Structure 1
Amino acid sequence: MPGALERPEGCWAWVVLLASVVAQALTLGFPACIGIFFTELQREFQASNSETSWFPSILTAMLHAGGPLCSILVGRFGCRPTVMLGGVLASLGMVASSFCRSLGQLYLAAGFFTGLGLCFSFQSTITVLGFYFTRRRALANAVASVGVSLGITLWPLLARHLLEELGWRGTFLVFGGVFLHCCVCGAILRPVAPSVAPGAAPASREGPPVPSKSPAPGRLAACGRATLRYLAFDILWQNGGYRVFTLGVTWMILGFPLPQVFLVPYAIRHGVDEHKAALLISIIGFSNIFLRPMAGLVAGRPNFARYRKYLFSLAVLLNGLTNLVCTVSANYRVLVGYCLVYSVSMSVVGALFFQVLMDVVPMDRFSRALGLCTILESISILLSPPMAGFVLDSTDSNFSYVFYMSSFFIVSSALFMGGGFCALQRKERQGRPAGTEAAIPEAAIPEAAPLPALPGEDPGSAEKQPCTEEITYVTSV
């Protein structure tokens, strides 16, 4: 409908920004409350710590790994239908999970389908911000990140209250209705007028054309080639800075989500009241409401560009060392102080993640680099909680070992990234070309050699896929 098209930076852009804040609160904030149901699910299904840990790991992994599929849907149908589809899918997953009779069914319903739906809703609302905001894009992303903090603050409180009143099955049923609000957020995302935003084609219903003359095998070959181009292994091989960053972050994620999953069960096991235990996660989220936008705006200043990689490594190091506090004492006041310090490092890590990636990778390759990094993250997220659950089962539910494990992965990744960035900078100063692609001006970086055409593929099909590298997908650390 031509009358429904909006202009970038117009009045409706701020309504879209508000919708993005709400969508992030609903989607990215939700995994923070999963730890509240850990003990109830373990008791209900008579499961071990490792078996129960697969539920939050699958949900969070799908929240990150669904990016490639989300990119196809956004390019084909636009952001608005994709957000609404995600809300419906997340709602159906939670409603179905309230009737589950086994952990396997819970993995499929609340883990796979809800996680995939949350991914669709979250990434599409972030993508559309790039079309609505041009001059104020940094400000829009900083404001949108407040939604994550709001979700981390409110979801645990709501989950604790509903769990006492309705049980976990009734709570999951209510959550299914809450996720339908993603459809409302999606309905607000009107397409941007292509006349004033030439790059906004993905926000409309128009997608990349499918060659009608190619047979079905040719389409499959083109799809496979596009997938290989999206998974930026060529950048991983050629760019030393991106290699250090991606490997370090992938290793870090093995320990990064563990405090949010196991902090509440840890506090309850050491005699902390259940309400106070749930409040710990809310303290982290409430602090992030103010810290994350401030850190994002400060990190975006040009005079911080040279030091962002090292500030990121330092924040990761602080985050890992902070987790050692939980191995010393489970006193509630100590845990509150831990949450405050943890939220500071978490905010800086979240704010600098995308800035550092933009520093080490040229912008014309950013979406591909982010896609590969996201997929590798999802593998680590999938493995991390079950590994911690196995440690708990092997140590008679001694949560101290979980926090030791978290600190080991995070601290070692910080040392690896800091040392790797220093080594690359030293090579750059000595004039050695290896690993210095990130320091070369973008215009001087040659484009990677195109992948050879697969059998049955039109040699010119690579030029017929403009949306493959134009859409930027953002996920939360």
Structure 2
Amino acid sequence: MPPPATSTLGYTPPDGGWGWVVVFAAFISIGFSYAFPKSLTVFFKEIQEYFDVSYSEIAWLSSVMLASMYAAGPISSILVNRYGSRPVVMVGGLLVGLGMVLASFGTSIIHLYLCVGVIGGFGLAFNLQPALTIIGTYFHAKRPLANGLAMTGSPVVLSTLAPLNQFLFDSFGWRGSFLILGGITLNCCVAGSLMRPVKKTVESKPKEDALELNGPEEAAPVVSTESQSCVERFIDLSLFKHRGFLIYLVGNIVMFFGIFAPIVFLAPYAKHQGIDEYSAALLLSIFALVDMFVRPATGFVGNTKRIRPRIQYFFAFAVSLNGVCHFLCPLLPGYAGLVGYAMIFGVAFGMVCALLFETLMDLVGAQRFSSAVGLVTIIECAPVLLGPPIAGAMLDAFGDYKYMYYTCGVLMLLPGIFFFIMNYYNYKKLDEEQRRKNTAVEMKTAEDSVPQNLSQNEDLTTETEKLKS
């Protein structure tokens, strides 16, 4: 885990300037990536009735989209390493738009899985990962704040899309809404055009150091002449030997089984209790509004000198808070209770999202982040894919939402506790390794000084003998 105050990029990131424009572009790109699958839940009840499918089958729509977004992570990493963030994000925007337009002509739920889920999900992957990577090339000292601001795009876009989707459905039906949304997602292409590569001024170094010097976006053109496989060139598999990375990965696999289902079923849960469509959609807006303010605040707190050196504990607290929140949901009565749950959930979820990738970058360093996020997302696609459908299957089996929320609470609370324990162990080991390193340096310094002292003593003895003679 590299010290937070030290950059290993081989250049000094600007920590501002055009970087703030890049943060705004990432705000849009990340916003659509995370908010779009959630906002589509507004159409679920109507699509479910239109195609006469079960809760579990309709839940697959968001799951396939999110899973495709995560599964395409390594592909996105390779493209970013080869071509940079700008063209990848622009292609991603075109793919999402194409998927939504094709879905508007859908004749079956399978058709929607392919168009919205697979094509749209791949497009979102090409929006998400490059936006996260490029922030690490522009920022170091202010990176938690920059990540927090960029991640705020998700609740801002969600708070806008949730009521907009309900309005579009009332005016044009779900087919017309999908067609219009396909055009709206083309704004990701505009965001991608703003992601200008950072200007780096470094001294000429040997090729073997090029990957560390140039960072994730320019590494591949340098190493492409080397005789190594495509996987070794673009994806750093040595991360599977990295202690902190493995802790992060194991905890996240469990966490992602329960992280999205409560959002996917929030509006349907409200409608199940007899709440009207607009009030149900308003819950997503309330959730997103709270989330909107929590993310930058979390980034600001995470950037303080007390929190940043031990930011993994802050992340563990945020994950645990989500678990407690889901346990409370079935106990809060009526619409007022759901509003309270949406607000608490917005705080907990916003903290996790603001810290999710910052903690990964803190563990592996900015220069290895592109490979790390690609490996994480491909492994996480399984729980992302299965989580909501399993929750939907529980609803079909029990006909009661409380069992789903209790299960999600357990799936968030357990990894939160795991992160506390294992990061305590990791920090302890890192401190021990640092002490051993410091001791070795001191011993080497002492050994190097011994010959010099002996030489001085010999010279002094020679001079004394000359005087005596």
TM-score by length of 2: 0.80
Partner of 1:254, secondary structure, is: helix
Change (3 A) 1:342 1:200: same
1:286-327: CA deviations, max 9, x gaps?
112211111111122232246533333232222112112332
Partner residue, 1:310? 313
Higher-Rg member (1/2):
2
- The question of 1:275 aligning with 2:278 is answered yes
The correspondence for 2:102, drawn from 89, 93, 96, is: 96
RMSD: 3.0
Report what 1:163 is aligned to: 169
1:253 maps to 256
Question: Within 1, Cα distance between the matches of 2:273 and 2:203?
Answer: 56
Which has the higher mean CA deviation after the structures are superposed, 326-335 or 291-300? 326-335
- The answer on whether the counterparts of 1:50 and 1:389 sit within 8 Å (CA) in structure 2 is yes
Structure 1 window deviating more from structure 2 (164-173 vs 29-38): it is: 29-38
**Deviations 1:146-203 (Å, cap 9, x if unpaired)?**
2122112111111111111111111111110011111111222334445479956865
| 1:295 and 2:298 aligned | yes
Correspondence for 1:86 among 72, 85, 92 = 92
CA shift for structure 1 position 127? 2.4
For the 8 Å contact 2:76–2:374, the answer to whether it is kept is: no
1:233 aligns with 2:247: no
Whether 1:338 aligns to 2:344 is: no
Distance 2:406 2:249 in 1: 23
Counterpart of 1:283, as a letter, is I
- Tell me which residue corresponds to 1:461: none
User: 1:400 and 2:402 equivalent?
Assistant: yes
Of residues 51, 58, 79, the one that matches 1:52 is 58
Secondary structure, counterpart of 1:111 in structure 2: helix
Supply the distance in 2 between the matched residues of 1:324 and 1:164 (Cα, whole angstroms).
34
User: 2:426, 2:78 → 1: CA distance?
Assistant: 36
Question: In structure 1, which of residues 2, 22, 27 is the aligned counterpart of residue 28 of structure 2?
Answer: 22
What is the distance in 2 between the residues matched to 1:227 and 1:165?
A: 47
| Alpha carbons of structure 1 residues 155 and 169: separation in structure 2 relative to 1, 3 Å | same
Does 2:342 align with 1:328?
no
Quickly say closer, same or farther: Cα 1:105–1:137, change in 2 above 3 A: same
Alignment partner of 1:143 is 2:149: yes
Pick from 126, 138, 150: which aligns with 1:120? 126
For this pair of structures, how many residues does the alignment match? 418
Residues 259-292 of structure 1, C-alpha deviation per residue, up to 9 Å, x if partnerless? 1100100000101111011111111111122111
How far apart are 1:359 and its partner, in Å? 5.0
CA 242–122 in structure 1, closer or farther in 2 if over 3 Å, else same: closer
Contact 2:82 2:217 in 1 (8 A): no
Structure 2 CA distance for aligned equivalents of residues 296 and 443 of structure 1 = 33
One-letter code aligned to 1:280: L
1:379 aligned onto 2:382 = yes
Cα gap change, 1:181 to 1:247, in 2 (>3 Å)? same
Give the 3 Å change call, closer, same or farther, for CA 200–97 of structure 1 in structure 2.
farther
- TM-fit CA distance, 1:403: 0.8
Q: Distance in 2 between matches of 1:363 and 1:205?
A: 13
* TM-score calculated relative to the size of structure 1: 0.79
The Cα of 1:365 is off from its aligned counterpart by: 4.8
Structure 2 CA distance for aligned equivalents of residues 231 and 332 of structure 1: 50
In structure 2, relative to structure 1, the CA distance for the partners of 1:316 and 1:141 (3 Å cut) is closer
Which residue does the alignment assign to 1:39? 45
Q: Per the alignment, do residues 439 and 169 of structure 1 end up closer, same or farther by CA in structure 2, a change over 3 Å counting?
A: farther
Check whether the contact 1:287–1:343 (CA below 8 A) recurs between aligned residues. Answer: yes
Change (3 A) 1:197 1:47: farther
Alpha-carbon distance in 2 for matches of 1:233, 1:116: 25
CA offset at residue 23 of structure 1? 2.0
The unaligned stretches of length 5 or more in structure 1 are: 1-6, 215-220, 429-435, 446-477
